[in-house]
Chain A
């Protein structure tokens, strides 16, 4: 479990706090989505989770380890993986296999163990055939999946992703999101997905919204993503499916607000029968 207790954060030299009084428990095996506009503090939050940044006040405790304690950092960094949005900034080696091996090598693991972990990580993200490929020749989505494999090779319990799809095309986005859902459902990895795309948050168990450094809302995807007006004040857009249902209601049709495209289609077809 990750406990965020009364966390405040200021960047040195800047007056206004970027995060204010964040209190949160992240349960093992959860898929959590954190939504917020640019500047809301969400990226800063991700760096507090793995000890890249230390809170100005309050504590972040991961499975009993406080990030303030230097001794804990090595354990922490194996336990929580952090993925950034630009795939090109995260790949260092000349072939995929070496890139994914980078982490385990630095842990001093035996070469047999490293080989196994590399293959199994690449298999989880569906990139086994690219073992000997140069990373720079892959598509954006493929690069992100390799970067994810690089983290998985360290066997983290938690994976934090800071806008992992913002530089990807639709296919790439789809691949990465499917990989995350898969990781969560089949490997039990706790996923914390930071994004400004409300459609991505629909896949989560719980959705949180950050605005000007404060947690302003928490709930199920349906609870949060149907609050179109509030989302708007927080600089976010409700998913188009919700907006479509709202518009149809305004035109006089009786249907609930839905997130899922298939559900929306079903409901409209049922309206036909009712009308």
Chain B
């Protein structure tokens, strides 16, 4: 089961004087039970790519298959069912909160799918617990009165309540403080581990992506520049810098130290692993 993009291209305003190619020649597969990170400078086509993944947009060239079904060729109830499989969380999802209670906001989707009564409550409760929002404490609260981080979790719960197989998030931690960020990333990992979801995360924050994703796609000018594991991506520090993507400071330190320690591995992820690497180099002089 996967979302597969084959030779996908996309142009805005096709045939018009201001036609703009947003994506070119994209070959990508998103598997369930995987956390995929997409990183790229502003204008690289990330948002367009996300919209193609759940069939909100159709490609100009190539094909998108969601669990072997082509959303461009699917209509009626079938397309609704297909779209349900891919939950798309836009940036600042809390801007989408509209109801008077957390319960009603999260219940909106399931209600539209025909859920009522105890089934509805169970679905809302499940989604809330999955996002670490206690049903008892939060269901009757007004979304407007919650903290930014809490609002964000309510918004994501609303999408999760549709039980998608894949969850795609555009800058999920933007605007959150360090605790909020850590909490949300841990929840995303849990969703992937416990629910077997395929999670796709677009982020500017390379630190978040390398510490949480199995695979990383680097998107530049609408094309895939590179796909690799976090360590493979960290290997090319300078390249990333040129693209306007910030290498984590501590990895930059490793790149600097490589002048003195040519055999230094510049790819460890996280402060502890990097300290280990430096420690080894110091002891092996």
Contacts and interface: CB of A to CB of B under 8 A. Distances in A.
B244 A240 contact: no
Give the bracket for the number of chain B residues in contact with chain A.
35 or more
Contacts of A272: 260, 282, 285
Contact of A251 (B147, B149, B204, B279): B279
A132 to B, nearest CB: 18
Contacts of A251: 275-276, 279
B250 A241 contact: yes
Interface stretch (B1-9, B24-32, B105-113, B177-185): B177-185
Interface string A211-236: 00000000000000000000000011
B252 interface: yes
Interface string B239-263: 0000011101110110011001000
Interface string A26-39: 00000000000111
Contacts of A265: 253, 256-257
B275 A244 contact: yes
B249 A240 contact: yes
Interface of B: 41-43, 92, 147-149, 174-180, 204, 244-246, 248-250, 252-253, 256-257, 260, 271-272, 274-276, 278-279, 282-283, 285
Q: Which 7 A-B pairs have the closest CB atoms?
A: A247-B275, A170-B246, A169-B204, A196-B177, A171-B244, A237-B178, A38-B177
24 contacts: A37-B178, A38-B179, A39-B147, A85-B175, A139-B43, A169-B42, A170-B246, A171-B41, A235-B177, A235-B178, A235-B179, A240-B250, A240-B271, A241-B249, A241-B253, A244-B250, A244-B274, A247-B274, A251-B276, A265-B257, A268-B253, A272-B285, A275-B282, A275-B285
Interface of A: 37-39, 85, 139-140, 163, 166-167, 169-172, 174, 196, 199, 235-237, 239-241, 243-244, 247-248, 250-253, 261, 264-265, 268-269, 271-272, 275
